[in-house]
Structure 1
Amino acid sequence: MEKKKPIKRHESLKPLSRDHHHGLLLTWKIRQGIKLNIEPRRMKSYTDWFKNEYLYPHFEAEEKFVFPVLGSEDLLVKRALAEHRRLRRLFDQKIHILKSLSLIEEELDKHIRFEERVVFNEVQKIASPGQFEEIEREHHAQPFSDDDWQDHFWNRKK
Structure 2
Amino acid sequence: MEKKKPIKRHKALQPLSRQHHFGLLFSWKLRKGFSKNIATERLQEYAKWFYEHEIKPHFREEEKYIFPILEKDNELIERALKEHRRIKRLFNDIKNPEKSLNCLEEELEAHIRFEERVLFNEIQKVATETQLEKIEEIHSDIEKYSDYHDPFWE
Pairing of 1:90-129 with structure 2 (within 5 A): 90-129=90-129
Question: Partners of 1:55 and 1:63 in 2: how far apart?
Answer: 12
1:152 matched residue in structure 2: 151
CA distance in 2, matches of 1:11, 1:25: 22
Q: Provide Cα deviations, 1:110-147, integer angstroms capped at 9, x if missing partner.
A: 0000000000000110000011011112233222531x
User: Is the Cα–Cα contact under 8 Å of residues 87 and 104 in structure 1 kept in the other structure?
Assistant: yes
C-alpha displacement of 1:72? 0.8
TM-score, normalised via structure 1 length: 0.94
For 1:48, the equivalent position in structure 2 comes to: 48
Amino acid at match of 1:153: F
Higher alpha-carbon deviation: 136-145 or 18-27:
136-145
- Structure 1 unaligned runs (5+)? none
Unaligned segments of structure 2, at least 5 residues: none
Q: Which amino acid aligns with 1:115?
A: E
RMSD of aligned residue pairs (Cα, Å): 0.9
Note the alpha carbon deviations across 1:84-118, whole angstroms, 9 max, x for none: 00000000111211100000000000000000000
Cα separation, 1, equivalents of 2:98 and 2:37: 10
| Counterpart contact for 1:31–1:105, Cα < 8 Å | yes
In structure 1, distance between residues paired with 2:143 and 2:28: 21
After superposing the two structures, state which structure 1 stretch, 134-143 or 21-30, moved more.
Answer: 134-143
Q: Which runs of 4+ in 1 moved over 6 A?
A: none
Does 1:142 find its partner at 2:147? no
Query: Percent identical across equivalent pairs?
Result: 53
Q: Is the 8 A contact 1:65 1:135 kept in 2?
A: yes
Q: Which sits farther off after the overlay, 50-59 or 130-139?
A: 130-139
* Number of aligned positions between the proteins: 153
Provide the C-alpha distance between the structure 1 equivalents of 2:149 and 2:26, rounded to a whole number of angstroms: 16
Any idea what SS the aligned residue of 1:102 has?
Answer: helix
